[in-house]
């Protein structure tokens, strides 16, 4: 005589339970402008990391290039280089931290990104003015040099502020 059929060891449903008809609900996607600001924060993270490492390597291995490039700094050169390296590390860490927190939908990180990027714009402008005057004061003929200013440090923070200030970004970050 054959053994009677055994019930399965786990529950077998012919179809999903009623509350998960189509599986779990999909996660809400980050809005496009918030995603762009998130990516720009990581781009600024990489730029900050590379710029800080570049300045630190020049200060350690090729100090004569700093003397030649910024003759007007004089005895302030070590202080300026240390300030650039320390603030570069601080901004890099803050931008990476804010990018992670914005991805986790933190409204405080969104607000902190506004503040940090606004302060960053002010520092970039002040830094450009200081370096311009340092280069200009060390020359015998102050009107005969070319100063190239990279506006990446100003444009990218402005874009981050604009992208994070959108209504969809505000709604997405305010869980």
* Average pLDDT estimate for 29-35: 91
Report the alpha-carbon distance of residue 123 to residue 76 in Å, rounded.
18
* Average pLDDT estimate for 115-132: 86
User: Is the four-CA dihedral 154, 157, 161, 162 of positive or negative sign?
Assistant: positive
Tens of pLDDT, residues 78-89: 777 788 888 889
In the predicted structure, residue 24 carries a pLDDT above the cut 80: no
- Mean pLDDT in the chain? 81
**In the chain, what percentage of residues exceed pLDDT 70?**
75
Indicate yes or no: pTM above 0.75: no
Find, among 26, 27, 31, the residue nearest to 102 by Cα. Answer: 31
In the predicted structure, residue 151 carries a pLDDT above the cut 70: yes
């Amino acid at each position: 005589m054959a053994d009677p059929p055994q019930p399965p060891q786990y529950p077998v449903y012919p179809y999903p339970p009623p509350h998960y008809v189509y599986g779990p609900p999909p996660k809400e996607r980050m809005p496009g402008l918030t995603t762009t600001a998130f990516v720009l924060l990581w781009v600024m993270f990489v730029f900050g990391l590379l710029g800080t490492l570049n300045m630190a390597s020049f200060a350690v291995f090729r100090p004569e290039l700093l003397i030649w490039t910024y003759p007007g700094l004089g005895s302030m050169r070590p202080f300026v280089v240390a300030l650039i390296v320390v603030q570069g590390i601080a901004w890099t860490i803050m931008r990476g931290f804010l990018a992670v927190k914005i991805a986790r939908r933190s409204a405080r990180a969104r607000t902190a990104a506004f503040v940090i990027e606004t302060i960053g714009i002010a520092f970039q402008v002040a830094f450009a003015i200081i370096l311009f005057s340092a280069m200009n004061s060390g020359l015998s003929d102050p009107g005969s040099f070319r100063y190239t200013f990279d506006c990446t440090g100003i444009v990218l923070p402005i874009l981050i502020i604009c992208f994070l200030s959108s209504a969809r970004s505000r709604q997405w970050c305010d869980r």
